[in-house]
Amino acid sequence: MPSSFTVAFVLGATPGKWARVWHERLVDVGLELVASEQDEALRMLRSGVADIAIVRLPIDRDVDGDRPLAAIPLYTERAVVVVPKDHSFATRTSVVMAELSKENQLPGDWRAATELVAANVGVAVMPQAVARALVRRDVTAKLVDDGPEWHVAVAWRDGSVDPHVEEFIGIVRGRTARSSRGTASSSEPTGAASEADQATVSAQKQTRPNRAQPRGKYPQGKVRRPQRPRKR
């Protein structure tokens, strides 16, 4: 069994919360977190340098026919527009895409785009988590109400029998230490595993008796005792 486990993660992802759970459960297996660009994270995963990658969908899962990639979506990121501090949008709470049509939108690498925004070259649309990671004093980020969305996912080499891979997937999906381990089947469509979990929780809530309801007409389980007749 390996004594270390490597997770590559993209800009804006925050695997630290999962790392803390890992260290609590697997004290003898070191966890290495490697900040990477998307393409590099996927290369590390396919070559075996990384055991898990936290990336943004979509990804090419079948580039390696022997070991295609499997992925489970974790959460969705909202879009923000990064503008200079003195921009007219800087005092706004949010904007819409139509308002950006008159702006010089900077494509490409988000790091480089942020540098150009600071130089008043244009504005840049990116995930909110990325903007937070690249925060600097001379720019600000505003939500784009109808902007694009990005889906962050955990990816691994399909067919892996490494129990540590299964353990990490269980951690990011919120399984407790006592729950059974096991990865989602690669035949599941993207997002099916997460949706199934949510549906199960919803069904349990519907069938479970609501113990928070007050008993009778007196809340919080208080019982009103009948008054005893007074002695004359």
Q: 9 with 67, same domain?
A: yes
Instruction: List, for residues 119-146, the tens digit of each pLDDT value.
Output: 999 999 999 999 999 999 999 999 999 9
- Does 131 reside within a domain? yes
- Does 211 reside within a domain? no
Q: 109 with 61, same domain?
A: no
- Does 161 reside within a domain? yes
Q: Is-contact 166 183, C-beta < 8 A?
A: yes
Q: 67 with 159, same domain?
A: yes
Q: 57 with 86, same domain?
A: no
- Does 109 reside within a domain? yes
Q: Is-contact 183 156, C-beta < 8 A?
A: yes
- Does 209 reside within a domain? no
Q: 11 with 121, same domain?
A: no
Angle between helices 16-25 and 163-172 (to 10 degrees): 130
pLDDT at 213: 43
H-type alpha helices, 74-162: 97-100, 110-118, 128-133
Range of the domain at 30: 4-75+152-184
The confidence band for 2, taking pLDDT boundaries of 50, 70 and 90, is: low
Q: How many domains does the chain have?
A: 2
- Does 62 reside within a domain? yes
Q: 113 with 130, same domain?
A: yes
CA dihedral 47, 29, 133, 150 (to 10 degrees): 60
The confidence band for 63, taking pLDDT boundaries of 50, 70 and 90, is: low
Give the mean model confidence (pLDDT) for residues 157-161. 78
Q: Is the pLDDT of residue 188 over 70?
A: no
Q: Is the pLDDT of residue 155 over 70?
A: yes
Q: How many helices (H) and strands (E) in the chain? A: 7, 9
**What is the end-to-end Cα distance of the chain in Å, rounded?**
85
- Does 218 reside within a domain? no
The one-character DSSP state at 86 is: T
Q: 175 with 129, same domain?
A: no
The confidence band for 52, taking pLDDT boundaries of 50, 70 and 90, is: very high
Say which CATH number the domain at 65 has. 3.40.190.10
